[in-house]
Structure 1
Amino acid sequence: MADIAAELQNTVLINENIKMVIWNCFEINLMGLNAILLAKRAGRMARGFGVISGELRELSLQLQGSMNRLSNASQDMLAESSHSMTQERRSQMLAQTSELSAENTTYLAETLGRNRKAADEHSERLRIVHQRLSEYIDEAYQACVFGVVIARAARIESAYSGEHSNVLAELSNDFARKVDSIVPRLEELRRISGKMR
């Protein structure tokens, strides 16, 4: 029962981290749109910055997709954990009842057997959900590492953007900070999901 309670607690932590990453992705997307508009205003000199900003927007959408899949897996995990907790309570009640009642031992033994089988099936489904969770976290982490590289490229491009280079440099630094702030969240998700296996 303690394992299931820990699982539920970890699911809450996962959802909190997912919300923060999704919020950062939303901000990156808006910043990317703003950067594209600024790059268009700056003209030919900032064309590269506009392309990189578009890439950062794509990255934010990709990360949001990963986080949505991760959120769905987390909800599946929550449902399976809750069901496992219910099954475990039923099994405990049946075991206590079978100790008190010698008349229905055959029926209770069959029911306990069915409950154990259902618990094993839920454990297998939970294992699969954990596996999906790890895959989605790895997918998001790889996208985020790519985002760090793109944010650095934006810094370089901003230097070649003519008279708008200061504004674009500031924006590229904001990109870098936002993308960098996602990495610890994903590392925390990895740590939490690693405890759940």
Structure 2
Amino acid sequence: MSTQALQHSSSQQLASFVRLNEGIKGVVLIAFQINIMALNAILLSHRAGEVALGFGVISKELRTLSVELTGLMQELSSDAYQAVNLISDLLRRERRQHLLQATRQQLPQPLPALDAILAERLQVFQARGQQVREVRLRLLDRLEEARKLCQFGTAISRSAKIEAAYGREYGRALAEVSQDFDQKIQTILPSIETLCAGMQRI
């Protein structure tokens, strides 16, 4: 692969990781909203008393889920930041390598010292490339974990709808909260899917 092609490939990867970081921020915001909603739902279930015990348990589960998802997103953000730094370094090294190779081609005869520098820099470049691949795989694993967490959240939010039906005079309020839970979870899943697809294309 030519240096120009490598630069283009690295630039595309850099853009993908930057987009990933933006997507992560969106998921964190929704997870925060779920956390606040869950706290309110826990308070509501306390007011409702015995008829909303099951709803209270589910609300606590959703709050735990939101905290876990936020932690997972923070880890993803840290990995994405590391990848951006690695790829930025790769781009700088690619440009230097291109200049050295252009200089070498203009020389009337081979220069062993320059060849040694080129070979050494190529090794460092390949090592950086391997680090980027490792970060990408780690990101994919964490995104898959986030997807499973959201699928679990979907099941919990549907259980909340069932429990809301037993809320008697609080039934309507509990049903509204459970509907909000479901909508928020359903918003996160496509975001996670989009992030996964973006990482798989790199």
Alignment TM class, shorter chain as reference: over 0.9
Structure 1: 5+ residue stretches without partners: none
Identity across matched positions, percent: 37
Cα distance in structure 1, aligned partners of 2:108 and 2:117: 15
TM-fit CA distance, 1:16? 1.3
Amino acid of the residue matched to residue 90 of structure 2? S
Runs of 4+ in 1 over 6 A off after TM superposition: none
- Counterpart position of 2:154: 148
- Work out which of the residue numbers 127, 131, 134 in structure 2 matches 1:128: 134
- Counterpart position of 1:85: 91
TM-fit CA distance, 1:66? 1.0
Please show how residues 1-197 of structure 1 align to structure 2 within 5 Å.
1-102=7-108, 105-196=111-202
Deviates more, 1:34-43 or 1:96-105: 96-105
Deviations, residues 12-60 of structure 1 (Å, cap 9, x unaligned) = 2101110110000000000000000000011110111011000000000
TM-fit CA distance, 1:124? 0.9
Cα distance in structure 1, aligned partners of 2:29 and 2:57: 23
TM-fit CA distance, 1:103? 7.1
Structure 2: 5+ residue stretches without partners: 1-6
Deviations, residues 81-124 of structure 1 (Å, cap 9, x unaligned) = 11111111110010111223447721111110011000110111
Paired residue total: 196
TM-fit CA distance, 1:184? 0.4
Cα distance in structure 2, aligned partners of 1:117 and 1:106: 17
Amino acid of the residue matched to residue 133 of structure 1? L
Cα distance in structure 2, aligned partners of 1:4 and 1:144: 31
Deviates more, 1:70-79 or 1:95-104: 95-104
Give the alignment's TM-score, normalised by structure 1. 0.97
Amino acid of the residue matched to residue 124 of structure 1? Q
Give the alignment's TM-score, normalised by structure 2. 0.94
Pairwise CA RMSD = 1.1
